[in-house]
Amino acid sequence: MKRHGFVATLAALSFACFASGDAVAGATVSGTIKLELPGGKKPGRKKIQMAADPVCAGKHPDAPARSEVVVVEDDGGLHNVFVYVKKGLEGRKFDTPSEPAVLDQQGCIYVPHVMGVRAGQPITVLNSDGTLHNIHPKPQNSAEINKAMPKFMKKITISFANAEVMVPVKCDVHPWMQSYIGVMDHPFFAVSGEGGKFEIAGLPAGTYTIEAWHESERLGTMTQEVTVADGESKSVDFMFKIKPRKRK
Ligand SMILES: [Cu+2]
């Protein structure tokens, strides 16, 4: 019996050594992003008027598309927040993925509304609509892109050379079309989704400034510092507040 226990302990020890030695012991930072809703009232999402292009309007036969500027759940869970490591990775280099990110023009809306890519990573831009779009990102740190995509052009590839939070993307044909792309020189970013949740995994041990960015100026950005050890998981939550409108 004793001997059996000893062997089992040895086996467990060697497994533990294997796990810490060979596996990627990256840390995870995850959390929930919420919007404070005074009185429990969440901001409405305006209908998007697409009548100017009947092809677009025809893509939403049952209900009109609605603005994605502030997408918030009843309990405050806030979608489309770009969360990323702003500080703490200086001097580190990460391979650029050759796998393209995908931005679709679908129902005359950008899908996804907010996304992250790597500097130099190819981005496949799809036209799923059978109408003319014009993909027009306006980066500050990379070359501007302005490409018409007639209805027969289903796919093009673009990329941004340099990191930038965030690159706004517009369509010159459909003024309501707007999206944002976070261009990063490292892989540690996420976009909040269901429940306002996000997760950034595989982080090296270290102390990081995490920034949460929302496109509305009245929400803006928030930052928090977090220190993680190898393999550690830490929770970082953000609570956005709607700032008063700026007086003009
Ligand atoms: Cu368009």
211-231 pLDDT per residue, tens = 999 999 999 999 999 999 999
Q: What domains lie within the chain, and their CATH numbers? A: 26-53+61-86+191-248 (2.60.40.1120), 95-185 (2.60.40.420)
pLDDT digits (tens, 9 = 90+) for 65-96: 999 999 999 999 999 999 999 999 999 999 99
- Ligand 1 centroid distance, CA of 134 (Å): 6
Q: How far is the CA of 174 from the centre of ligand 1 (A)?
A: 4
CA 149 to ligand 1 center in whole angstroms:
9
Residues with Cβ within 8 Å of residue 132, at least 6 apart in sequence? 148, 149, 150, 151, 173
List residues, by chain if needed, whose CB lies under 5 Å from ion ligand 1.
133, 171, 173-174, 177
pLDDT tens profile 169-222: 999 999 999 999 999 999 999 999 999 999 999 999 999 999 999 999 999 999
Closest Cα partner for 82 from 168, 144, 175? 168
pLDDT digits (tens, 9 = 90+) for 17-42: 344 444 557 999 999 999 999 888 99
DSSP secondary structure letters along 175-193: TT-EEEEEEESSS-EEE--
Instruction: Give per-residue pLDDT as tens, 101-148.
Output: 999 999 999 999 999 999 999 999 999 999 999 999 999 999 999 999
